[in-house]
Structure 1
Amino acid sequence: MLVTRKFSNILTRSRTIKSSVRLFQVCVMGGASEIGQAVSLLLRTEPAVSKLVIHDTWEAAPGVVIELSHIPANSTLKGYLGEVTMKQALGSSDLVLLVGGLLKTPGVSDKACLDANMEFVKTVSSQIGRLSKMPFVGVVAEPLNSLVPMAAELMRNTGTFDGRKLFGVTTIDWIRAQTLFGTLHGMAPEECFVPVICGHSNKTTVPLISQSRPGANMTGTEIRKFVSELQRYDEIVTQAKHGKSPTVSVAYSVLVFVQGILAALSGQHAHVHAYIENNDFGTSYFSGLVQVDSNGVKEMTRYTNHISEYECQILEEALDQLRKDVATGKKILEVE
């Protein structure tokens, strides 16, 4: 397994793609949500986006589109409101982002969040499945571990589906690990690479310090503290924001993901951090560094050398939880 500085360079390039030609249409479903607005703002002037489409069922959506129109950009901007316009919003899009739904905040139970976001993803996925050709799809709504498998099952049963084009956006996990690792060791974060694998939740996110580049000597206690902090970042940010969920860093991570996908669509070699359909790790879905081309997923990076005993232990525990999360998502069709 080659895990060297070249991966950091690949990912850094994907964040700074520049093009004099705008080529791609990106649709932000849930674009009037807190995260959706931040994502839309970042994409408004993204060079590779020729048309930005904003869709939401929230009545404030037209105002969001008007605000975005005040930003000077050489791209087309279009807004849609309500479920009846969803097919129009999705049509001709190269990439669709599902960023709406309910944010997990204090007072909102896991079940309430899951139920609300299942409805959001269910509605959008069913419409995507009816398109003549499936666009690339990035799911941001939580919990990814369950919602991505659910989206896949719905698309399969609705019509058009290509598993290579469905991604759960987990770039935030890599960004956090990269920054935490760099800060801890006095290194420039952009020069650091820490693989983060398995799933996308506090119980299934597994950073591999043994595979980090540059390497660093860390005691067992330091490694456990690193893992704990990374897995608790959502909680840490929410507490610091007095009950508000992370949005700014998540939006930036979505931008990084979009840049990687659009690079792949334009014929460049690209990698993204994502949660995808993958049967190689004892579960049907898995998260990690994914090589992507214009057809979608090519392969996921594997790490087989010098994995520590502690990492194997937490990975096994995470896989047990991940299998349960995946099963929850797949069961949606059993109760229809």
Structure 2
Amino acid sequence: MFRRIATRQFSSSAANAYKVTVLGAAGGIGQPLSLLLKLNHKVTDLALYDLRLGAGVAADVSHIPTNSTVKGYGPEEDGLAKALTGADVVVIPAGVPRKPGMTRDDLFNTNASIVRDLAKAVADNAPNAAVAVISNPVNSTVPIVAEVLKSKGVYNPKKLFGVTTLDVLRSSRFLSEVAGTDPTQEVVSVVGGHSGITIVPLISQTNHKNLDKETYEALVHRIQFGGDEVVQAKAGAGSATLSMAQAGARFAGAILNGLAGEADVVEPSFVDSPLFKKEGIEFFSSKVTLGTEGVKTVHDLGELTNVETELVNTAKETLVKNIQKGIDFVKANP
């Protein structure tokens, strides 16, 4: 029934009708993310899961008059499996937020278990879905999902993504503030990972190559640790949720655009990458072109300055440890 309705409502083919599932839909990120996904015209079936209030969030956003159905699920009556069955894209913001003084890595012990269990459910019920992981620390949670999917025999490296888009959004905003420009016109490639010094904005590849040293260093630091501003400003009441929801919706939208066969869909993402595998780094964030099968092309980093090369090398040292931490967790806690 769903596919027939979707075909009737859109002039495009049924191939542009997609089911998107949000795991952790009632949280600080999940609620605004669900709202933004309801507004995406490619989302024709929106499934919202959480341990509690999933149905409430679904009822709320279902009143928005866009051409999609919305249904909420909880753990009762096999809700997780139902939410995932038939999903084309699964977005995972589930987990606990950062508090003052916490790094993304401090979240590991709690969020690792949550992500592992959700990954098992994805493997069992939506093995062909594109999976976008928001739950921090992304540098470790993405490898966790990969190991679980491998253990279930359904790992597709082209369809697993760590969402690093918030670093891109912050880079555009913060650079525009320094340069006095329109933030909507600033395009900044951010590579590496999604935590502190693993975040490397490639400012030399923008129109602002000649920032003075002090301005440049302050800008890079702010991009790398911009999340701390929000954690401190919320005074223990949460972390970046609204901006992260926008980032998640933008990246999920890019995945959908790629699945629909649109041309030149390019976003940075933390993926199974060939760039530094010889150095033992299985995952790395760089620009990827998205297509009908997920990742179509992983782009190299392009020309870097000496300073950016040093930043990338520093990021790689930390990424090796972060990635291994996720792999080891699954081995010890299958």
CA distance in 1, matches of 2:317, 2:291: 31
Two-structure CA RMSD over aligned residues (Å): 1.8
Q: Are the aligned partners of 1:44 and 1:68 in contact in 2 as well (CA < 8 Å)?
A: yes
CA distance in 1, matches of 2:104, 2:243: 22
302, 305, 308: which is aligned to 1:308? 305
214, 222, 232: which is aligned to 1:221? 214
Q: Are the aligned partners of 1:257 and 1:273 in contact in 2 as well (CA < 8 Å)?
A: no
Match of 1:70 in 2: 63
Match of 1:184 in 2: 178
Report whether the alignment pairs 1:318 with 2:315: yes
Match of 1:277 in 2: 272
Relative contact order, higher structure (CA 8 A, sep 6+): 1
* Alpha carbons of structure 1 residues 34 and 20: separation in structure 2 relative to 1, 3 Å: farther
Give the superposition deviation at 1:279: 3.0
Give the superposition deviation at 1:111: 6.3
Q: Are the aligned partners of 2:116 and 2:330 in contact in 1 as well (CA < 8 Å)?
A: no
Give the superposition deviation at 1:112: 5.8
Q: Are the aligned partners of 1:129 and 1:156 in contact in 2 as well (CA < 8 Å)?
A: no
Report whether the alignment pairs 1:165 with 2:159: yes
Q: What's the CA shift string for 1:208-244, capped at 9, x where partnerless?
A: 11111x2442112221111111111000111122222
SS in 2 for 1:34: coil
CA distance in 2, matches of 1:110, 1:183: 26
What aligned pairs does 1:136-215 form with structure 2 within 5 A after superposition? Answer: 136-212=130-206, 214-215=207-208
Q: Are the aligned partners of 2:104 and 2:195 in contact in 1 as well (CA < 8 Å)?
A: no
Q: Are the aligned partners of 1:41 and 1:68 in contact in 2 as well (CA < 8 Å)?
A: yes
Q: Are the aligned partners of 2:91 and 2:134 in contact in 1 as well (CA < 8 Å)?
A: yes
Give the superposition deviation at 1:85: 1.8
Match of 2:324 in 1: 327
Q: What's the CA shift string for 1:16-46, capped at 9, x where partnerless?
A: xxx7556111000010111000100111121
Give the superposition deviation at 1:320: 0.3
Match of 1:14 in 2: none
AA aligned opposite 1:309: N
AA aligned opposite 2:319: L
Give the superposition deviation at 1:107: 6.6
Match of 1:95 in 2: 89
Query: How many residues in Structure 1 have an aligned counterpart in Structure 2?
Result: 315
Give the superposition deviation at 1:315: 1.4
* Alpha carbons of structure 1 residues 105 and 301: separation in structure 2 relative to 1, 3 Å: same
CA distance in 1, matches of 2:126, 2:32: 30
AA aligned opposite 1:135: A
Match of 1:256 in 2: 250
222, 228, 243: which is aligned to 1:235? 228
Match of 1:287 in 2: 285
Give the superposition deviation at 1:108: 5.8
CA distance in 2, matches of 1:334, 1:63: 36
Give the superposition deviation at 1:132: 6.6
Q: Are the aligned partners of 1:170 and 1:273 in contact in 2 as well (CA < 8 Å)?
A: yes
CA distance in 2, matches of 1:309, 1:107: 32
CA distance in 2, matches of 1:44, 1:118: 28
CA distance in 1, matches of 2:83, 2:233: 36
Match of 1:8 in 2: none
Q: Are the aligned partners of 2:55 and 2:71 in contact in 1 as well (CA < 8 Å)?
A: no
After TM superposition, the runs of 4+ consecutive aligned structure 1 residues lying more than 3 A away are 19-22, 107-112
Of the structure 1 ranges 158-167 and 109-118, higher mean CA displacement relative to structure 2 is found in 109-118
Q: What TM-score comes out, normalization by structure 2 length?
A: 0.89
Give the superposition deviation at 1:52: 0.5
Q: Are the aligned partners of 2:169 and 2:247 in contact in 1 as well (CA < 8 Å)?
A: yes
CA distance in 1, matches of 2:290, 2:40: 20
Gaps of 5+ in 2: 1-9
CA distance in 2, matches of 1:191, 1:109: 31
Gaps of 5+ in 1: 1-18
CA distance in 1, matches of 2:106, 2:22: 23
Identity %: 31
